[in-house]
Amino acid sequence: MTISRHIILLKAGITVSFLMLTVFVIFARDTLPVYGDLVRQAPQRSVSGFITGLLPFPAPYVAFASIGTSVLFAFVSQVLLFYFFEKTQAIEVRLLGTFLFSFTFEILRIVTPLKTVMHLSGYIPAITSHFMVFGRFYGLFALFAAGLYVSGLKIRREETVIFPMATAALLFALRMPIDSFYYDTSLYPITGFSRTFGTLNIVIIMLSILCFISGAYTRGSREYYFIALGVLAVAIGRRLLLTADTWVILGAGAVFLFFGTWYAGIQFRRMYLWS
């Protein structure tokens, strides 16, 4: 990929994530009052990892803060990616940028409160729910693909990886049974086979981390050990942030996410500054 096209993609990521952040701000005032009732009426508790069982009472406005933090993180990460890696052509850096960009899909969680406030058609949550699932899986696949490149994958054309990755995420989103009229306490739609897909998420993340660790051997650089550590922190933070329904889990998720991104970013900066 040429430098000019690389810069165009980075600017596109900044623009779209900024628009999603703007959408969140515009509707924040109207939707904020209904979050409390929506969380109390949620038929199912969000899965926030093993900590959830120790914190039995979901807070009413955590979902609002989780959505806002996600889209803000996506925008900030895209800006920093452009600032520090504008001249970097390494494919794995762009794939990691895709993973960070996937947080913008969390804006779709505001459809549930918007449906209450603006009396939207039931078809809209049905459509956006599938897009939300697509965004989460697409981000995970991008992280895994970045790990494969680091571990030694030799494919020069990014389309060879991106199109199958997007197709797989789309198939998961379309085939997953989703009840868009019911949601958990994080305002994420209730899906079928949730344990199976939850296990799949963990497997993809662990394989991604192993790929980054193997990069220390295939490329002969110990910095990849530290990058793997940062990716692990990001993965933990992502799970906690996106499934949070208490302030403790939300805060922990944000800390892990921002710290892991900063830590991995420093290591990537050293490795790929002139790539």
Q: Domains, the chain, ranges and CATH?
A: 3-272 (1.20.1070)
Per-residue pLDDT at 273: 62
Residue-wise pLDDT tens digits, 99-132: 999 999 999 999 999 988 888 777 888 888 889 9
Res 50 pLDDT > 50? no
Q: pTM of the predicted model, to two decimals? A: 0.90
CA 26 to each of CA 12, 79, 137: distance values in angstroms, whole numbers, following the listed order: 21, 21, 27
- What DSSP string runs through 187-216? SPEEETTHHHHHHHHHHHHHHHHHHHHHHH
Per-residue pLDDT at 229: 93
Q: Are 108 and 71 in contact (CB under 8 A)?
A: no
Distance CA 274, CA 36 (A): 49
Closest C-alpha to 9, from 131, 94, 88, 76: 94
Distance CA 47, CA 29 (A): 27
Q: The dihedral of CA 144, 146, 147, 152: what is its sign?
A: positive
Residue-wise pLDDT tens digits, 163-220: 888 888 888 888 888 877 788 888 888 877 777 777 888 899 999 999 999 988 887 7
Inter-axis angle of helices 159-175 and 123-151, to 10 degrees?
A: 140
Res 23 pLDDT > 90? yes
| Bridge partner list, 83 | none
Q: How confident is the model at residue 49 (pLDDT cuts 50, 70, 90)?
A: very low
Count of CB atoms situated within 10 Å of the CB of 120: 14
Tokens of residue 231, six digits: 């990716």
Residue 220 CA, chain-centre distance (Å), reads: 30
